[in-house]
């Protein structure tokens, strides 16, 4: 098991390096303008540009440039570890930006993921057990709504109803946890629900279909033939076997949201990592974009590792393979 | 009513009377089992033989209460020690399942949960009907695994099903079925998915278990050879109906029904070469629209006037056992003695 984890961790590093390389190429090598010009601001002199090119290692071959980039990333730069460079747009360290914004996104994901996993799986199980009843049809109708409703519309509607009209929750914007848990949560509850709704719908449908398929398996018939209660048949035997694809999806969904909860972050003005990325892209602030991409890539690689480890715990056939 | 039902007495474990199972489907009603009666006593092995779709498995699932009553319409009586299982509530039925009547299935790999240890699955069966500690249940699981011939059972109980061979999985399934010393063991094609060498071992094990635990066994199979080894009684099924039902000895030495003849003729043995095997032409009828008259008549070599209009009842012939066929008894004996039986080297 330990060797397995170590091997996978090594692979994670390789994957992150590969992603770094591709991102680097895309942003520094594709013809979208000279980074030095963008960095220098309005009407720079040739000497200034030359200096910037030298300081940013732009005057060297691209593999040397990439080498410096990786060296900075691995060993840190003047702003600390990992070195993510300097933002052209805000003239601050990208690392500082990321560290500042990350908690907002991570809290958003943590809350929403808890909600969607709990309720999605619960609704899915109930739907499967009460197949073809009113509950099942209502739940699946709700799922269809959740999948089709656009987040920006849902978000605005939620703000309008629960904040503006009913004054039940806090409004948009992120409030730090240090200002009190209640205050913090009242501003996050709507983004949590809105983001969770889409995923909840997907998870409910998937749980329902997986469970229905599993309940048709021969070993479920064996479980019933043993004289087990229906509850035990469904939870201990059926759900256990239906969980594996859900675990995979859950890990990847969480990882992708690290840089991808852009719409939710924008609607609720949370200014998290996704917001940072989209702003960076709009202002051609490439180091910032690069920073967020690295975060997402690392998250995806790490979550994949976590999923694989969890897999080995859930399914013994994987463990010994 | 057959002689088996007539002789039903105190020793009778299972007495199935006029069992019918119908499934409502989009295309119409499937008559999976029609008017089936049989009985099982302690120490007996009833071999139920028939092609796929003849209603063998459905009737045994009905006995186990494993058919979803929302989709399956079940009529008749399934008397277990005098109590009609069809009248029990789902929860009462659950208490019978796995304790008084247990079942093993065709594909032992698909039938064990892939994510739990074999011992755990057995221990769970123990605790399903008995309030004992986990440790006691586990110990009982190990004991049973060892009883069904799994070497080093203590260690193997900690294995997962995929670490077991096919034969060992089926042994584990048998152990699981025996957890509560049931009265009836239903084995649904227990050897079909196994290697030929392992088949005999499993059949022997079932037979040994029957004697040791003094239980009744229903052995469902499409293979008359399997039945020949251990069955005391045989019921031949076709299109959801019993075609012939009697003591195994009589079935193999003086079969009365053309369908049974067909099965015997198509059964390969060591002596018979492939070119002597006679297949039954055609395929079983659709149970959505069973043919009028005798269900076997479209494929029967011996059909005559009444066969396609009037269904023959399952009735005993003088000096014989019940079967469903319009042929006169003398004619049946003649055909057996001169053709089918002569070919097999047995005559009455």
**What are the chain B neighbours of A314 within 8 Å (beta carbons)?**
115
| A155 neighbors A194 (Cβ within 8 angstroms) | yes
Q: Which residues of chain B have pLDDT under 50?
A: 1-10
End-to-end CA distance of chain B: 25
Q: What pLDDT, on a 0 to 100 scale, did the predictor assign at position B157?
A: 96
Domain A95-319 has CATH 1.10.40.50: no
Q: What pLDDT, on a 0 to 100 scale, did the predictor assign at position B8?
A: 43
Four-CA torsion B239, B242, B244, B248, nearest 10 degrees: 110
Task: State the sign of the Cα–Cα–Cα–Cα dihedral B250, B256, B257, B263.
Answer: positive
Q: What pLDDT, on a 0 to 100 scale, did the predictor assign at position A116?
A: 96
B 153-192 residues with CB < 8 A to A: 160, 162-163, 173, 176
Q: Given A227, A240, A315, which is nearest B97 (Cβ)?
A: A227
Is the Cβ of B207 closer than 8 Å to some Cβ of chain A? no
Number of alpha carbons in the 13 Å side-chain half-sphere of residue A113: 19
Pick the residue from chain B with its C-alpha nearest to A224.
B66
Q: Which H or E element spans position A293?
A: helix A286-314
Q: Given B66, B110, B115, which is nearest A314 (Cβ)?
A: B115
**Residue B342: count of CB within 10 angstroms of its CB:** 12
ipTM confidence: 0.86
Pick the residue from chain B with its C-alpha nearest to A131.
B70
Instruction: Please work out, in degrees rounded to the nearest 5, the angle formed at the alpha carbon of residue A56 by the alpha carbons of A50 and A58.
Output: 70
Residue predicted with more confidence, B219 or A52: B219
Is the Cβ of A310 closer than 8 Å to some Cβ of chain B? no
Token pair for B13: 């474990």
Cβ of A218 and B107 within 8 Å?
yes
The CATH fold of domain B3-112+164-344:
Rossmann fold (3.40.50)
Cβ of A317 and B160 within 8 Å?
yes
| B248 neighbors B227 (Cβ within 8 angstroms) | yes
Cβ of A227 and B94 within 8 Å?
yes
| Of the candidates B319, B222, B247, B218, the residue with the CA atom closest to the CA atom of residue B16 | B218
Cβ of A237 and B96 within 8 Å?
no
**What are the chain B neighbours of A320 within 8 Å (beta carbons)?**
160, 162-163
> Distance of CA A310 to CAs A20, A49, A214, A258, A282, Å?
27, 51, 20, 20, 38
The residues spanned by each domain of chain B are 3-112+164-344
Task: Give dist(CA A315, CA A241) in Å, integer.
Answer: 8
Q: Which H or E element spans position A257?
A: helix A240-260
Cβ of B103 and A229 within 8 Å?
no
Query: Residue A47 pLDDT more than 90?
Result: no
Four-CA torsion B296, B298, B299, B302, nearest 10 degrees: 80
Distance from CA of B125 to the nearest CA of A (A): 6
**What are the chain A neighbours of B173 within 8 Å (beta carbons)?**
222
In sequence order, the β-bridge partners of residue B22 are B31, B73
Place of tokens 């009828």: B285
Distance from CA of B52 to the nearest CA of A (A): 18
| Of the candidates B343, B219, B201, the residue with the CA atom closest to the CA atom of residue B277 | B343
Q: What pLDDT, on a 0 to 100 scale, did the predictor assign at position A43?
A: 79
Q: Is B112 left (phi over 0), alpha (psi -120 to 50) or beta?
A: beta
Cβ of A225 and B115 within 8 Å?
no
**Residue A161: count of CB within 10 angstroms of its CB:** 13
Q: What pLDDT, on a 0 to 100 scale, did the predictor assign at position A141?
A: 93
**What are the chain B neighbours of A241 within 8 Å (beta carbons)?**
113-115
Token pair for B264: 């015997």
B 3-32 residues with CB < 8 A to A: none
Distance from CA of B32 to the nearest CA of A (A): 19
> Distance of CA A166 to CAs A190, A192, B214, B334, Å?
13, 18, 73, 93
Distance from CA of A245 to the nearest CA of B (A): 14
Pick the residue from chain A with its C-alpha nearest to B61.
A225
Q: What pLDDT, on a 0 to 100 scale, did the predictor assign at position B271?
A: 65
| B274 CB-contact burial (10 Å; exposed 0-12 / middle 13-18 / buried 19+) | exposed
Residue-wise pLDDT for A58-99, tens only, equals 788 888 888 888 888 888 777 777 878 788 777 788 888 899
Is the Cβ of A317 closer than 8 Å to some Cβ of chain B? yes
Token pair for B58: 């459905």
Helix axes A94-129, A181-215, angle to 10 degrees: 40
* Mean pLDDT value of segment A211-216: 94
Mutate to test the interface with A, among B111, B112, B130 (most CBs of A within 10 A): B111
Task: Give dist(CA B61, CA A222) in Å, integer.
Answer: 11
**What are the chain B neighbours of A231 within 8 Å (beta carbons)?**
none
**What are the chain B neighbours of A129 within 8 Å (beta carbons)?**
none
The residues spanned by each domain of chain A are 2-94, 95-319
Pick the residue from chain B with its C-alpha nearest to A226.
B98
3-state DSSP of chain B: CCHHHHCCCCCEEEEEEEEEEEEEECCEEEEEEEEEEEEEECCCEEEEECCCCCCHHHHHHHHHCCCCCCCEEEEEEEEECCEEHHHCCHHHHHHHECCCEEEECCCHHHHCCCCCCHHHHHHHHHHHHCCCCHHHHHHHHHHHHHHCCCCCHHHHCCCCHHHCCHHHHHHHHHHHHCCCCCCEEEEECCCCCCCHHHHHHHHHHHHHHHHHHCCEEEEEECCHHHHHHHCCEEEEEECCEEEEEEEHHHHHHCCCCHHHHHHHHCCCCCCCCHHHCCCCCCCCCCCCCCCCCCCCHHHCCCCCHHHHCCCCCCEECCCCCEECCCCCHHHHHHHHHHHHHHHHCCCC
Residue-wise pLDDT for A158-173, tens only, equals 999 998 899 888 888 8
Residue-wise pLDDT for A111-150, tens only, equals 999 999 999 999 999 999 998 899 999 999 999 998 898 8
| Of the candidates B239, B256, B247, B227, the residue with the CA atom closest to the CA atom of residue B323 | B256
Q: What pLDDT, on a 0 to 100 scale, did the predictor assign at position B270?
A: 63
Residue-wise pLDDT for A6-39, tens only, equals 888 888 888 888 888 888 787 777 666 677 777 7
Pick the residue from chain B with its C-alpha nearest to A217.
B110
Is the Cβ of A228 closer than 8 Å to some Cβ of chain B? yes
Cβ of A221 and B113 within 8 Å?
no
Q: Given A219, A314, A320, which is nearest B110 (Cβ)?
A: A219
Residue-wise pLDDT for A232-247, tens only, equals 999 999 999 998 889 8
In sequence order, the β-bridge partners of residue B21 are B33, B74
Cβ of A218 and B173 within 8 Å?
no
| B253 CB-contact burial (10 Å; exposed 0-12 / middle 13-18 / buried 19+) | middle
Cβ of B111 and A315 within 8 Å?
no
**What are the chain A neighbours of B118 within 8 Å (beta carbons)?**
none
Q: What pLDDT, on a 0 to 100 scale, did the predictor assign at position B216?
A: 94
């Amino acid at each position: 098991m330990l060797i397995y984890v170590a091997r996978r961790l090594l692979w994670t590093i390789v994957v992150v390096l590969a992603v770094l390389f591709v991102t680097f190429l895309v942003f520094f090598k594709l013809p979208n303008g000279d980074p030095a010009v963008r960095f220098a601001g309005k009407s720079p002199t040739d000497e200034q540009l030359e200096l910037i090119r030298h300081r940013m290692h732009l005057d060297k071959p691209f593999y040397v440039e990439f080498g410096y980039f990786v060296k900075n990333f691995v060993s840190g730069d003047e702003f600390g570890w990992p070195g993510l460079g300097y933002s052209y747009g805000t003239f601050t360290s990208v690392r500082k930006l990321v560290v500042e914004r990350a908690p907002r996104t991570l809290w958003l994901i943590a809350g929403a993921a808890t909600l969607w996993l709990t309720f999605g799986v619960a609704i899915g199980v109930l739907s499967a057990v009460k197949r073809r009843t009113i509950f099942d049809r209502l739940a699946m109708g709700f799922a269809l709504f959740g999948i089709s409703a656009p987040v920006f519309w849902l978000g605005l509607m939620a703000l309008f109803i629960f904040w503006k009209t009913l004054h039940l929750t806090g409004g948009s914007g992120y409030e730090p946890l240090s200002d009190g848990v209640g205050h913090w949560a009242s501003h996050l509850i709507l983004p949590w629900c809105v983001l969770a709704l889409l995923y909840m719908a997907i998870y409910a449908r998937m749980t329902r279909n997986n469970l229905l398929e599993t309940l048709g398996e021969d070993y479920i018939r064996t479980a019933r033939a043993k004289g087990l209660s229906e509850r035990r048949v469904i939870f201990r035997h059926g759900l256990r076997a239906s969980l594996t694809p859900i675990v995979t999806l859950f890990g990847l969904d969480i990882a992708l949201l690290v840089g991808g909860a852009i719409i939710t972050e924008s609607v609720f003005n949370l200014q998290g990592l996704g917001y940072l990325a989209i702003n960076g892209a709009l202002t051609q602030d490439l180091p910032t974009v690069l920073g967020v991409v690295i975060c997402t890539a690392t998250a995806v690689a790490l979550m994949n590792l976590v999923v694989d480890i969890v897999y080995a715990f859930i399914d013994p056939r994987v463990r010994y393979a | 009513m057959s002689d088996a039902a007539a002789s039903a007495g105190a020793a009778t474990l299972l007495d199935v009377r006029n069992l019918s199972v119908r499934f409502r489907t989009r295309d119409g009603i499937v008559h999976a089992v029609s008017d089936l009666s049989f009985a099982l006593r302690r120490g007996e092995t009833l071999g139920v033989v028939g092609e796929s779709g003849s209603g063998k498995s459905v009737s045994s699932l009905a006995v186990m209460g494993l058919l979803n009553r929302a989709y399956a319409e079940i009529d008749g009586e399934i008397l277990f020690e005098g109590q009609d299982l069809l009248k029990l509530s789902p929860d009462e039925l659950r208490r019978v399942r796995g304790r008084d009547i247990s079942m093993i299935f065709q594909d032992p790999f698909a039938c064990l949960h892939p994510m739990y240890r074999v011992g755990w699955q057995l221990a769970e069966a123990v605790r399903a009907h008995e309030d004992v500690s986990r440790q006691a249940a586990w110990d009982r699981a190990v004991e049973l695994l060892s009883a069904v011939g799994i070497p080093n059972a203590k260690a193997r109980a900690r294995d997962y099903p995929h670490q077991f061979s096919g034969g060992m999985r089926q042994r584990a399934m048998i152990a699981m079925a025996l957890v509560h010393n049931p009265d009836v063991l239903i084995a649904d094609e227990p050897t079909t998915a196994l290697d030929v060498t392992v088949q005999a071992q499993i059949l022997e094990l079932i037979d040994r278990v029957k004697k040791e635990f003094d239980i009744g066994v229903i052995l469902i199979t499409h293979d008359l050879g399997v039945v020949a080894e251990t069955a005391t009684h045989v019921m031949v099924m076709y299109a959801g109906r019993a075609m012939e039902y009697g003591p195994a000895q009589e079935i193999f030495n003086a079969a009365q029904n053309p369908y049974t003849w067909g099965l015997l003729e198509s059964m390969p043995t060591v002596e018979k070469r492939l070119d002597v095997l006679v297949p039954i032409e055609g395929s079983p009828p659709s149970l959505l629209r069973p043919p009028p008259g005798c269900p076997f008549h479209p494929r029967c070599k011996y059909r005559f006037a009444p066969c396609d209009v009037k269904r023959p009842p399952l009735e005993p012939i003088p000096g014989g056992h019940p079967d469903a066929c319009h042929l006169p008894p003398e004619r049946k004996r003649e055909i057996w003695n001169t053709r089918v039986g002569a070919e097999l080297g047995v005559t009455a």
